[in-house]
Amino acid sequence: FMSGQKANYLDFFKTVGKSKRLLRSGPVREGIKDPESVAEHSFRTGVIAMVLSDKVGNNLNKDKLIKMALIHDIGEIITGDIVVQRGEIIDLTLRDSKEEQERIGIKQIFNQIQEGEIYAEIFEEMIARKSPEAKIFWQFDKLDLAITALEYEEEQGKQLDEFFLDANTHMKEPLLKKILNEIIKSRKKEYQESLAEKMGVEI
């Protein structure tokens, strides 16, 4: 990271701004009209972290969780948005290689500012998935995925069971499971039945 060189804030903020134009590949694959950008996803995940961090777990570091939300997909500016989970199936090899590329991307991007290594360390903690914050963070991330999928279903009449299956595999925290359940119950009845069948549960 930077040693003595001048921070280039303008280049840094312009680089980060590219996430506003990078579309999320899951919705693109499903033929969603006007799919959200990586930045839009990160924004609401940040709001979820801001509002729910104090309501889940014990003494979680809210500041760190909000930072995780803001930076978790910044590496995709370099790598592109690669889908590593379809429904309940996670491709761990692909996920590892994506995160390794993003790790390099994060270092390149944050190397432009003096305090960059702090954010790179938070990114490392997040992808290690071991700290209480990292474990909760990925549930926040998937909660946003489910809300977005519900919005696409309501606005565009698509059936997106796969996104809800994906979110469900990550949800452990009782409050977040409860919110996910509310999201699923807001779907059309036939979509709920289809999802229940895939999950092997009664609705």
Give the model confidence (pLDDT) of 139-179 as tens digits. Answer: 999 999 999 999 999 999 999 999 999 999 999 999 999 99
pLDDT of residue 188: 96
Residue 148 is predicted with a pLDDT of 98
* Cβ contacts of 118 within 8 Å, gap of 6 or more: none
**pTM, 2 dp:** 0.93
CA distance 194 to 50: 33
pLDDT at 3: 52
Region for 61 from its dihedrals, namely left if φ exceeds 0, alpha if ψ lies in -120 to 50, beta otherwise: beta
**Helix 92-110, helix 9-17: angle, nearest 10:** 150
For residues 166 and 147, is the Cβ–Cβ distance under 8 A? no
pLDDT of residue 5: 64
8 Å CB contact between 108 and 5: no
Share the mean pLDDT of the chain.
Answer: 93
For residue 6, pLDDT over 80 is answered with no
pLDDT digits (tens, 9 = 90+) for 54-93: 999 889 999 999 999 999 999 989 888 777 888 889 889 9
pLDDT of residue 175: 98
Structure tokens at 41: 């996803």
Q: What is the DSSP letter of 18?
A: G
Q: Is the model's pLDDT at 1 over the cut of 80?
A: no
Q: Which long-range contacts (CB under 8 A, 24 or more apart) does 184-191 make?
A: 184/146, 186/150, 187/150, 187/153, 188/153, 188/159, 191/153, 191/159, 191/161
